[in-house]
Amino acid sequence: MSNAPRSQRPASVRPPGSVPPNSMPRVPALPRGEGTILVTGACGRLGKHVVRIQHRERRVIGVDRRPFPDKPKDVVHEQLDIRRKKLKDLFRAEPIEAVVHLGVMHDPRASQAEHHSWNVAGFQKLLEYVAQFQVPKLVVLSSANVYGPQPDNAQFLNEDAPLLGGARFSEIRDLIEVDMLAQGFFWKHPSTETVILRPVHIVGAVHNAASNFMRLPTIPTLLGFDPMVQVIHESDVVRAIGRALVPGRRGIYNVAGAEPLPLSHIVKILGKPSIPIPYTFGKALLKRLWAFRLTTFPAPELDHIRYVCMVDDRRAREELGYVPAMPIEETVRSVELESW
């Protein structure tokens, strides 16, 4: 990441966005609270949080091949693979008001073939059913990582920025393809209000690279680099998903938490020691540890503590009415708390 001094968030001109939300004809969605919401990836920590919030207002079907033993009693859990035809039966059985797609595989040790089959082929099948059964709303959780940490990134990237995350990190390419498929679906099927959310690094009780990095007993940093970092608490992501489900919302939205901080400040909030290492040494060390399965961090992850990748989230604030509720200090410290 670059070492440019912290700058103020731009506030004068609204970023145009790759998919302007008002550029397509409006179609009536089912009133909020009617119909059923189908949530893929419902047994992940984020998925469970979404299900527990949404089932208070609507009927919810959670789809995940993993078990869901602690699900709310009135939530239907379908333990199936989204690539299987049985998924079609759910759409045929009852009116689906909205689909929230969280079922993206992020396991860096899974093969590229498995990643592609699950993330891309599975999502294509889901899109086929959303179109066939004329689902009024589709919310897809992408990631700001699709932009990629780059040495020449602008201080804040808007929704028009190119998706370069796969240039150095091949594992992110499937996520970019999912994002692009969702954009294509937006234009081909205007009868469905498609919303693509690109949150920054999600932290909290979730188990992902950002949270796991912040849980390390000693935080590694790179000599000569102290990048600005954006993080968002999982509860704020769930809040953004709720705003995206409101009828009339469509388009691409960057989603961020509280104001960004230098990595060194985040380490201070955690109250942990840090150890600065040269980039070349760190990259070689991670490659060796990865080969022997002694780390969960592939070497390309180092770019996230080297180059800047921050987003401008004004569209989400202005058009979705999204505002993060978690202060930055609580967001950072949440990684050490017990899961709910």
Q: CA-CA distances (angstroms) from residue 113 to 109, 110, 119, 120, 288?
A: 11, 8, 10, 10, 23
SS (H, E, C) 190-237: CCCEEEEEEECEEECCCCCHHHHHHCCCCEEEECCCCCEECEEEHHHH
**Dihedral pair phi/psi, residue 57, rounded to 5°:** -115, -25
* pTM score above 0.85: yes
* Percent over 90 (pLDDT), the chain: 66
Tens digit of pLDDT for each residue in 196-244? 999 999 999 888 889 989 999 999 999 999 999 999 999 999 999 999 9
DSSP 79-142: ---TTSTHHHHHHHHS-EEEEEE------TTS-HHHHIIIIIIHHHHHHHHHHHTT-SEEEEE-
Q: Are the C-beta atoms of 116 and 270 separated by less than 8 Å?
A: no
List pLDDT tens digits, range 267-321. 999 999 999 999 999 999 988 988 888 888 888 889 999 999 999 999 999 999 9
Cα first-last separation, the chain:
33
The radius of gyration of the chain's CA atoms, rounded to the nearest angstrom, is: 20
**C-alpha distance from residue 173 to each of 56, 79, 123 (Å):** 36, 27, 14
How high does pLDDT run on average in the chain?
86
Average pLDDT over residues 309-334: 96
CA distance 268 to 15: 33
Q: Per-residue pLDDT tens for 85-116?
A: 899 999 998 889 999 999 776 666 655 666 66
Mean pLDDT of 249-253: 97
The predicted-structure confidence for 45-87, as pLDDT tens digits, reads as follows: 999 999 999 999 889 999 999 999 999 999 999 999 898 889 9
**CB neighbour class for 20 (10 Å; exposed up to 12, middle 13-18, buried from 19):** middle
Q: Which of 39, 36, 24 is nearest to 136 (CA)?
A: 36
pLDDT reported for residue 111: 58
**Residues ≥6 apart with Cβ < 8 Å to 84:** none
Contacts of 327 (CB under 8 A, 6+ apart): 258
pLDDT digits 0-9 by tens, 134-143: 999 999 999 9
Q: Which two tokens stand for residue 72?
A: 């709310």
Mutual angle of helices 86-93 and 122-132, in 10-degree steps:
30
pLDDT at 81: 87
Note the pLDDT of residue 239. Answer: 96
- Asked whether residue 255 carries a pLDDT value surpassing 80, the answer given is yes
Is 14's pLDDT higher than 70? no
Burial class of residue 69, CB neighbours in 10 A (0-12, 13-18, 19+): exposed
